[in-house]
Amino acid sequence: MQPWQCIALIVLSIAVFFYASFLDEINETAQSSLGTLVDNKQGTPQVSPLDGEKNSTSTWAEVLVMLDSAIEEDYAISFHEEVLDSEKFYLGLLDDLSKSPVAKDLILGPFTSELLVGNEVEILSSLISFRQRSQKTLEIICKGHSTRAAHLLSELIIRNYNNLLHSETSDSPAPQSLSQQLEKCRDLESQMEDLKITIQEEIAGSSEESVEVMAIRSEIMQIDEDVNQFKQHLLRIDEIHKAKLNPEEYFHIPPIRDYGQVTQLADILEQLKSMRLDSTLNEFTRNEVEKNIMANSKELEKEVISAIEKIKERVSELLLQKKELQQAAFDHISNATILKTKTQRIDMFDKIKKLALESRKAFEDSTLLWMSCKSSYNLYRATQ
């Protein structure tokens, strides 16, 4: 073996040794990083939303947001914390965050993509925890992988909470407890209205009915006739469609024939089709006629579809009107008549009515408390 070959082998061996050492170092670093990630997932609830706890750790930057209430009663802070820790608020926060990819990456970027999939709301909520500092003050702890991330999260919380309360409506209150109370009210009132209809039908035709009730029943009968007529038209429309009959059959249905420009467009289309049969037309004129036939056919089709939708809407309106009249008929029935026809349904109605009134009062009382909370709080970032 030549001397230069020996030297080459020695150099090559040294290179392999260093390369192997380098790989070992890389593997150790990777294992260490993975171990840190696993530790964070298991020991730090902020990384693993499935843990369900929000204990702080020294590896996180924290920024405090303070909520001061002018109301000393416990319900004030409880209401605010309920809204701040609600899915509705977190979803709004995430929606606002998603509008800025840079901000979203700053707050949620440190988490693995596998962990983020389907769990963004849970992860975001795990970065926020609450601590009551006093009877009138709530601390909101915003955590982040950096001070900048924690500061950004605090700003988002302040902005979104104020916006949420500003855009809140009486039909969709921010506190979940109020939403549940409202839903209960609506359910009981709906049961009550349905029972009204059933009861007034059962005692219909009583000799003791007032003139007002008889007039209402007359209106109900007229509505029934109109609904039945519209139903017959809808059955005929369905028959034409399923049997694939000539579309002109639709024009024999009065509500379609008399709707919008249906008759006018149908007449124009008939004239254009007659022109097409003229053998003396030159090629240019024939092409123009064909174009107009196509255009008018499309417009006529749109009008027919709109007419059918109008019929369906009218039926829905009439049925709603009938329901309201039936409920009005019950309200006009005298208590004496109801007492004489005491039935199980009337007993049920009385019970549900009592529950509905109590539920509505409880909701309104809670709403007044919440309104006072909304108008007497201050949300700001604590100076550190």
Q: Which residues contact 179 (CB under 8 A, 6 or more apart)?
A: 172, 173
Q: Who wins on pLDDT, 64 or 279?
A: 64
Least confident range from 73-77, 96-100, 207-211, 355-359: namely: 207-211
Q: Which residues sit opposite 61 in a β-bridge?
A: 144
Q: Is residue 32 predicted with pLDDT exceeding 60?
A: no
Helix, strand, coil shares of the chain, percent, nearest 5, are: 70, 10, 20
Taking 90 as the threshold, does the pLDDT of residue 255 lie above it? yes
More confident residue, 115 or 62: 62
Distance of alpha carbon 35 from the chain centroid:
41
Does 312 have pLDDT greater than 80? yes
CA nearest neighbour of 262 among 310, 302, 293, 314: 302
Going by C-beta distance under 8 Å and a sequence separation of 6 or more, which residues neighbour residue 266? 248, 251, 300
Query: Quick check: pTM over 0.85?
Result: no
Lowest mean pLDDT among 67-81, 94-108, 351-365, 366-380: 94-108
Q: Token pair of 60, please? A: 């996180």
- pLDDT reported for residue 332: 78
Question: Chain-wide mean pLDDT for the chain?
Answer: 82
- Backbone φ, ψ for residue 70 (5° rounding): -80, -5
Give every strand in the sheet of 377-381, ordered side by side.
Answer: 128-134, 137-144, 61-69, 377-381
pLDDT band at 140 (very low <50, low <70, confident <90, very high): very high
- Dihedral-angle region of residue 176 (phi above 0 means left; psi in -120 to 50 means alpha; beta otherwise): alpha
pLDDT band with cut points at 50, 70 and 90 for residue 41: very low
What amino acid is encoded at 218 in this protein?
A: S
Q: How many CA atoms lie within 13 A of 379 on its CB side?
A: 21
Whole-angstrom Cα distance, residue 331 to residue 329?
5
